[in-house]
Amino acid sequence: MLVEDDMSLAEWFSDYLSEQGYLVTLATRGDIAIELIEADQPDLVILDIMLPVKDGFEVCQAIRPFYRGPILMMTARDHETDEVLGLELGADDYVVKPVKPRVLLSRIKALLRRVSSQETVSTVAPAVTSETDENILSFAKLTIDANSRTTTLAGAKVAISSNEFDVLWQLAQSADKLVSRKELVIQRRGIDYDGFDRSIDILISRIRKKLGDDASNPYRIKTVWGKGYLFVKGAWE
């Protein structure tokens, strides 16, 4: 699903992606995009920010409760605040116009690869019981289940996004060990860390909030300044 109100640009993107084998549906208004995304559940949404009726931020926020696929936000405004807000509202990646065709294609492929790998994990039946299942991690009151891609804390299911789950799972697998930002970025996006990617920091902030960590002085998922993050195994009592 391509959400873009500039028709010449929308047609250019649609033609290019169609040549690459993708079926593209176009929406030119934010309000219509919300309805189409809910009805069609596309594999991926490319979402412009500057849209009539409802802008891209409003669309992103509106669809996240019912749409679990990846959202790639696109804008002509090279403002860090736009990127941060988009990621906080649930976007998975962010590109600035003008974007080179191959760069756009590589971002799309990376997002779809991640979805495909997630579906493979979730559809494979456990080979062993839950007590010894490597796809289930338990830390006192916290349980992270990669089979169903669910997270529970103190018996209550936590509403966690796909991106958040991936980062939490990666950190929990290395409990009590430092995981660098570079490792997290490469695992999530399939590209090398350029030193300026803030998406991981935003995801960690959202995870902490949902898991009851202290935002000002986190003790469950600690920040090791200049290096990365540390999931504390014994902090989930």
Cβ atoms of 78 and 35 within 8 Å: the answer is no
Q: Is 108 exposed, middle or buried (0-12, 13-18, 19+ CB in 10 A)?
A: buried
123 or 91, which is more confident? Answer: 91
Which pLDDT tens digit goes with each residue over 153-198?
A: 998 888 777 778 888 999 999 999 999 888 887 776 554 444 445 6
C-alpha gyration radius of the chain: 19
pTM exceeds 0.75, yes or no: no
Residue 139 dihedral angles phi and psi, to the nearest 5°: -135, 90
The yes-or-no verdict on residue 218 having pLDDT over 90 is yes
pLDDT band at 118 (very low <50, low <70, confident <90, very high): low
Instruction: Report the distance separating Cα 24 and Cα 108, nearest Å.
Output: 13
Q: Above 90 in pLDDT, residue 112?
A: no
Specify the DSSP class assigned to residue 196: -
Q: For position 193, what pLDDT does the model report?
A: 45
Task: Report d(CA 200, CA 215) in Å as an integer.
Answer: 15
CA distance 73 to 56: 8
What is the DSSP pairing of strand 221-224 with strand 228-231?
Answer: antiparallel
CB 160 within 8 A of CB 152: no
Of 1-15, 103-117, 135-149, 216-230, the least confident: 103-117
- Going edge to edge, which strands form the sheet with 228-231? 178-180, 228-231, 221-224
Confidence (pLDDT) at 195? 45
Answer yes or no: is pLDDT of 123 > 70.
no
Q: At residue 142, does pLDDT exceed 50?
A: yes
* Residue whose tokens read 């002085």: 217
What is the mean predicted confidence (pLDDT) over 10-29? 91
d(CA 149, CA 137): 11
How far apart are the C-alpha atoms of 42 and 34, rounded to whole Å? 12
User: Pick from 98, 101, 116: which is nearest to 44 by CA?
Assistant: 116
- Does the structure show a pLDDT above 60 at 94? yes
Q: Establish how many alpha carbons lie within 13 A of residue 108's alpha carbon, considering only the half-sphere containing its beta carbon.
A: 24
Q: C-alpha distances in angstroms, 148 versus 118, 121, 145?
A: 10, 8, 6
Residue 235: pLDDT over 50: yes
Distance CA 228, CA 182 (A): 8
Element (H, E) at 204: helix 199-210
pLDDT at 194: 46
Question: Which secondary-structure segment (H or E) carries 179?
Answer: strand 178-180
What confidence category does residue 79 fall into, taking pLDDT thresholds of 50, 70 and 90? low
Helices (H) and strands (E) counted in the chain, each on its own, are: 8, 12
